[in-house]
Structure 1
Amino acid sequence: MKIEQFFDKGLAHASYAIISEGKMALVDPARDPQPYYDFAAANNAEIVAIFETHPHADFVSSHLEIAQKTGATIYVSKLLGADYDHKSFDDGDELKLGKLTLRAINTPGHSPDSVTILLLDENGQQHAAFTGDALFVGDVGRPDLRESVGNMTAKREELARQMYHTTNNVFKKLNEEVLVYPAHGAGSLCGKNLSSDTFSTIGREKKTNYALQDMSEDEFIKTLLEDQPFIPKYFGHDVTINKAGAAGFEESINAVPRLENDAKLEEGILIVDTRPQAQYKQGHLPNSINIQEGGKFETWLGSIVGPHEQFYLIAENEAMLNSVIRKAAKIGYETNIKGALLTPANLPLTSENTDVEEFRINPDKYTILDVRNNGEVKSGKIFENAVTIPLPELRERKNEIPQDKPIMVHCAAGYRSAAAQSILEEEFNVPVHDLSDAITTFSKVTH
């Protein structure tokens, strides 16, 4: 038996390969299938099964592409209503993989169609649980993503109630030594308290996971629903893509139009400029947003830009351009790209410079805009009188910001505030400044 975890730091997504006697199964594969092909080849194994624990909201899966290439069978809950060829895999269903047995356990709560795959070793003993987004290290999956998308929809309170029964009737009853292999770790927006550890045991989770502690059903529902993070714009879009099955990864990337850097761009189409903020501030195009290439580019792209919104994509060099196209494809946004190009020579607009010391002395001369998430603001404002609008909501709520004074935008470290400045500066009649990473030199206001 061999179990391999593949971890994508950008989306904090974990997928798995399980091998026994030359047969290989995959659980929740990422958009790019190549690492799984390489792993199968390196281990002289044949991919025969692909498990989707549920239709994922935060990334596009390659399950259909892999099945079409290898002939492997896709296994999902019948509740998913999958549009592709598959076999249903629900409570009590089993699949033999070499000397191993993979058993389905329905675990609704994050989604109504969630399945956990319980791995039994060659002696029939419980060895590992591939829990998808139902059980994380330190958390359980949020219950508020399926109110309007998917084959089955459910209100958050209903799913929270289902999660209570899943935790008590399924996870708590597994053997304590069972390994927990979730689909996400810290940094994912599929929960609110995920650990940086990428695997655990049932025994550890029963001791340390807040959601597995003894509490009443009503108390559990209240605890689970409060303080969940924002929902990116693209989440519902990806549930729909994954229910249908996505097109091939490389063919989708290759279909993105590549433009010369002096190409005439169509007016009215959003431009996503991925260059470092210092370069962007020195010169950029009209109607552009600075979403910098970095560790969470795909999350912020899908949080700021809508899933049906076309955009041009600009990067500082060919390697960066290839990277951001691939990252856009991981969330199903490659078809939104009207054209991808390197930095144009003519960049007519510049951003306001920020005099941090002048602001430190005279903060009342500015309207301060805090674009951190609600949970961050709840833990303490940095400036008591700041207007608070989370970055993912800024394009829709910018009219709530007074324009009687210059604007000073801040976040927690400077990445989000750069994007926020770029969203506001072209349309506002007053100067828009970015406090950038200087925010770390200001103390948080305690409450």
Structure 2
Amino acid sequence: MMKIERFYDEGLAHASYAVLSNKEIVLIDPARDPRPYYEYAINNEAKIVGVIETHPHADFTSSHLEIHHTTGATIYTSELVGADYPHQAFDQGDHIQLGEISLEAINTPGHSPDSISILVIDPDGKEHALFTGDTLFVGDVGRPDLRENVGNIKAKAEELARNLYSSTRDKIMTLPEDVIIYPAHGPGSLCGKNISSELQSTIGKELKENPALQDMSENEFVKLITEDQPWVPKYFQYNVALNKAGLESFEQSIRAATNLIHKENLIETVLIVDTRQAVDFQAGHHKNAINIPDSLKFETWLGSIVDPSESFYLVGYDEEHLHQIMEKVAKIGYEKSVNGLLWNDSGSIKENIFNKQEFDNNPDQFTVVDIRNENEVKNMTIFESAIHIPLPRLRESTEHIPTNKPIAVHCAGGLRSAIGSSILSLKLNGAKVLDMGTNIKQYKS
């Protein structure tokens, strides 16, 4: 008997897996919180005997070391990772026997120099499935530009793109067409640029439909996958280093970082990340606060705007809400940066409210700041005169924004403009900053 279970985190678009055979489980690319895997093992009366890391992930922190300490499971990863935690090297041709099935390592560099894919061989010796990590997604391949400055092996994007061309053509595309593809990410992940909404596929389907697997020269492939990649969040390099070392217990890390702070004890120079919704933040917040509203993508925006070396306080609605926020913070390894938590105290600084009628009557009397991504602006111009600064670069780029007129900040739907307007209010002290919010939808043709 063999069973494959997917665990999916929508916020990070991250898929991890449990492979079960004969009451033994091997986990692949587990998330930071190990509790769902323990529950799965209990429900199936099975034992977790192994954890495989396809590479040191950039976009989330893994629980591989905690699972090893808790269950005694062996951690497997490529020798090229140079992992600092106890592990067994798992490289080209190596096998793990799991009950009646076998898991075989295939070195597939490209997204990272140390990436592996895992081929599942069923009890009849047939190639059944392939866990591709960030090498191959449904409809896309992994971006090659995340390992230029971090990791045991560093490599330039073009070099890795050429490696990925070989990995896909020589190792993945040669497998039988009915082999099932299980990638580590779905749509919305910043580890690819055009990932499909489907969470699994087959070799045959990808050969037909995946643009990166079509007939093309190596140079054409390199151009295709190095152009128009999304931004790289500030936390990505930090997470590669954390995952290479292995992290502490998920729950213990959260508890150690979550002390209640009274407003009288706030250090004035420390950033405050207010996680309440924009309307509540605008009605009253603390000095030195920016607003990153709790949302599906909270951890991505936190790690894109706040540097991993930067300490900050967290503000939320209540203790339960902030515990949930801390779990998201820990997913990207930022829990040690939290100086303390604050709730039941909204602060007295109020934000200016955008008035659509005033803007429509005198649009020239406003400086418009467009904080959408490069590709969004390329595909649709909303205001010809707008200053364009993508949100992930906004905190470092405020000197380009004049303050002699009210500043109207917009994105595509309203969430990012709440973050962006709060950043500009703090950085451009004294300027009149307005969040256009959902009003922007009325200006999009």
TM-score, structure 2 normalization: 0.98
Are positions 1:226 and 2:246 aligned together?
no
Aligned to 2:95: 94
Per-residue CA distance 1:9-67 (angstroms, 9 max, x = gap): 11000000000001100000000000000000100111111000000000000000001
Aligned to 2:300: 299
Provide the secondary structure at the position in 1 that maps to 2:257: coil
Provide the secondary structure at the position in 2 that maps to 1:203: helix
Per-residue CA distance 1:403-441 (angstroms, 9 max, x = gap): 222111000111111111111113424311111011111
Aligned to 2:349: 349
For 2:55, the aligned partner's letter is H
Are positions 1:405 and 2:405 aligned together?
yes
Residues 330-339 or 196-205, more deviating: 196-205
Deviation at 1:260, TM superposition (A): 4.6
Are positions 1:185 and 2:186 aligned together?
yes
Per-residue CA distance 1:357-380 (angstroms, 9 max, x = gap): 221232221111011111111112
Deviation at 1:264, TM superposition (A): 1.9
How is 1:313-328 mapped onto 2 (pairs within 5 angstroms)?
A: 313-328=314-329
Are positions 1:287 and 2:307 aligned together?
no
| 8 Å contact from structure 2 (residues 140, 192) kept in 1 | yes
| 8 Å contact from structure 1 (residues 261, 343) kept in 2 | no
Aligned to 2:206: 205
Aligned to 1:308: 309
Provide the secondary structure at the position in 1 that maps to 2:66: helix
**Aligned pair in 2 of structure 1 residues 133, 84: CA closer, same or farther (>3 Å)?**
same
Give the Cα separation in 2 of the matches to 1:359 and 1:220. Answer: 46
Per-residue CA distance 1:289-344 (angstroms, 9 max, x = gap): 10011100000000000001000000012221111111000000000000012141
Give the Cα separation in 1 of the matches to 2:371 and 2:344. Answer: 27
Are positions 1:433 and 2:434 aligned together?
yes
Provide the secondary structure at the position in 2 that maps to 1:413: coil
How is 1:257-296 mapped onto 2 (pairs within 5 angstroms)?
A: 257-296=258-297
Aligned to 2:217: 216
For 1:136, the aligned partner's letter is F
For 2:367, the aligned partner's letter is T
Cα RMSD for the two superposed structures? 1.0
Provide the secondary structure at the position in 2 that maps to 1:423: helix
Provide the secondary structure at the position in 1 that maps to 2:426: coil
Aligned to 1:22: 23
Are positions 1:367 and 2:403 aligned together?
no
Give the Cα separation in 2 of the matches to 1:359 and 1:202. Answer: 53
Provide the secondary structure at the position in 1 that maps to 2:293: coil
| 8 Å contact from structure 2 (residues 395, 427) kept in 1 | no
| 8 Å contact from structure 2 (residues 398, 427) kept in 1 | no
Deviation at 1:261, TM superposition (A): 4.6
Aligned to 2:256: 255
Are positions 1:135 and 2:136 aligned together?
yes
Identity %: 55
Deviation at 1:442, TM superposition (A): 0.8
Aligned to 1:161: 162
Aligned to 1:244: 245
Provide the secondary structure at the position in 2 that maps to 1:425: helix
| 8 Å contact from structure 1 (residues 16, 26) kept in 2 | yes
Provide the secondary structure at the position in 1 that maps to 2:181: strand
Aligned to 1:416: 416
Give the Cα separation in 1 of the matches to 2:398 and 2:381. Answer: 20
How is 1:379-390 mapped onto 2 (pairs within 5 angstroms)?
A: 379-390=379-390
In the alignment, structure 1 segments of 5+ residues that lack a partner are none
Provide the secondary structure at the position in 1 that maps to 2:397: helix
Give the Cα separation in 2 of the matches to 1:101 and 1:263. Answer: 60
Provide the secondary structure at the position in 2 that maps to 1:186: coil
| 8 Å contact from structure 1 (residues 293, 320) kept in 2 | no
Provide the secondary structure at the position in 2 that maps to 1:312: strand
Per-residue CA distance 1:195-221 (angstroms, 9 max, x = gap): 111111111111111110111111110
| 8 Å contact from structure 2 (residues 81, 244) kept in 1 | yes
Per-residue CA distance 1:366-397 (angstroms, 9 max, x = gap): 11101111111111221111111111110101
Give the Cα separation in 2 of the matches to 1:203 and 1:86. Answer: 34
For 1:106, the aligned partner's letter is N
How is 1:2-13 mapped onto 2 (pairs within 5 angstroms)?
A: 2-13=3-14
Give the Cα separation in 2 of the matches to 1:237 and 1:335. Answer: 13
Give the Cα separation in 2 of the matches to 1:334 and 1:19. Answer: 32
For 2:76, the aligned partner's letter is Y
Aligned to 1:148: 149
Give the Cα separation in 1 of the matches to 2:424 and 2:211. Answer: 40
Are positions 1:195 and 2:185 aligned together?
no
Residues 165-174 or 221-230, more deviating: 165-174
Aligned to 2:394: 394
For 2:164, the aligned partner's letter is M
| 8 Å contact from structure 2 (residues 290, 426) kept in 1 | no
Provide the secondary structure at the position in 1 that maps to 2:353: coil
Give the Cα separation in 2 of the matches to 1:225 and 1:385. Answer: 30
Number of matched pairs: 443
Provide the secondary structure at the position in 2 that maps to 1:109: coil
Per-residue CA distance 1:97-132 (angstroms, 9 max, x = gap): 000000000011100000000001001101110000
| 8 Å contact from structure 1 (residues 58, 238) kept in 2 | yes
In the alignment, structure 2 segments of 5+ residues that lack a partner are none
Residues 198-207 or 55-64, more deviating: 198-207
For 1:192, the aligned partner's letter is K
Provide the secondary structure at the position in 2 that maps to 1:85: coil
Residues 356-365 or 91-100, more deviating: 356-365
Give the Cα separation in 2 of the matches to 1:443 and 1:89. Answer: 51
